[in-house]
Amino acid sequence: MTLQNLLPILISFLLAVIPAVFLLWYFLRLADSRKGSSATVMKIFFAGIFSIFPVVAMEIMISKINVYYQWSQFIYYFFEAFIVAGLVEEYIKQQIVKFMAFYPGRIHKIIDGIAFTIAASLGFACIENILYVFGNNWETAIARGVTSVPLHAVASGTMGYYIGLARFARTKGQERMLLNVGLWQAIMIHGLYNFLILISPLFGAMFAAFVIPMVIYLYIRLKSRIYQAQELDQELEGSL
């Protein structure tokens, strides 16, 4: 293979990977993640990459069910958005963080929950972006880099805030409630984003146009949650 043939592949790969890597660096810096947590962050990031397999399996299953039941496009898109992208993806990310950080006691601050969950989400977004970009064009890579990849981070980061809070819950019931609240918020955010994108060919591009202000609003909201987590962490340290 000549350099001329390799160059478009290399550019496509970089366009797919750079948004996830940049956002991982940005959010960890914003969250002022502990130096000792960087090894766990990277392990969780790579676990997020491998989480693509059960998600693809679920997508295949939904497609086969759709063929059998002959769903309308609207219903199919609803299941694709809220069950596959929302429920399955966010549940898997939550389980990764729970088993690699929450249960082993690696969450020492509320902010750790946000950092670890964003790492899981961006690992998944990275491999998903690679698969999308190599099957499409550079415009797709750029569009996903400014909408889909940040959406993964803000949806899962919101869930991570509640994972961090759950680490300091006083009862098992409160812990379970916080974990569930975070998961369902991530499901609804992620599902709504995907649903707007999927139905835009049916109802017009105006639905897809909502996603940019939606991502901006969710980013501002997550940033506020990060600052809240840092303030709560200071209060927790002061009470020890």
Map out the domains of the chain as residue ranges. Answer: 3-29+37-235
Burial class from Cβ neighbours inside 10 Å (0-12, 13-18, 19+) for residue 223 reads: middle
What pLDDT, on the 0 to 100 scale, is given for residue 1?
A: 58
Please report the pLDDT score of residue 26 as a whole number.
Answer: 92
State residue 207's pLDDT score: 62
Q: Where are the alpha helices (DSSP H) in 79-171?
A: 89-97, 110-134, 138-146, 148-167
Average pLDDT, the chain: 89
pLDDT band, very low/low/confident/very high, at 10 (cuts 50, 70, 90): confident
Q: Which 8-state DSSP code applies to residue 138?
A: H
The most confident of 30-34, 49-53, 176-180, by mean pLDDT: 176-180
DSSP 170: S
- Residue 51, pLDDT above cutoff 70: yes
Q: What is the DSSP string of 30-60?
A: HTT--GGGHHHHHHHHHHHHHTHHHHHHHHH
Q: What mean pLDDT comes out for the span 43-65? A: 89
Question: What percentage of the chain has pLDDT greater than the value 90?
Answer: 59
pLDDT digits (tens, 9 = 90+) for 101-159: 999 999 999 999 999 999 999 999 999 988 888 766 677 778 888 899 999 999 999 99
- The average pLDDT across 67-78 equals 84
- For the cut 70, the answer to whether the pLDDT of residue 184 exceeds it is yes
Q: pLDDT value at position 240?
A: 57
pLDDT at 206: 65
pLDDT in tens, 83-94: 989 999 999 999
- pLDDT over 70 at 3, yes or no: no
Q: Do residues 187 and 162 lie in contact, with contact meaning Cβ atoms separated by under 8 Å?
A: no
> Contact at 8 Å (CB) between 93 and 51?
yes
Please indicate whether residue 114 or residue 209 has the higher confidence score (pLDDT): 114
Answer for the pair 59, 87: CB distance below 8 angstroms, yes or no.
Answer: no
Q: What angle do helix axes 110-134 and 148-167 make, rounded to 10 degrees?
A: 160
Tokens of 206: 């105006």
pLDDT of 205: 63
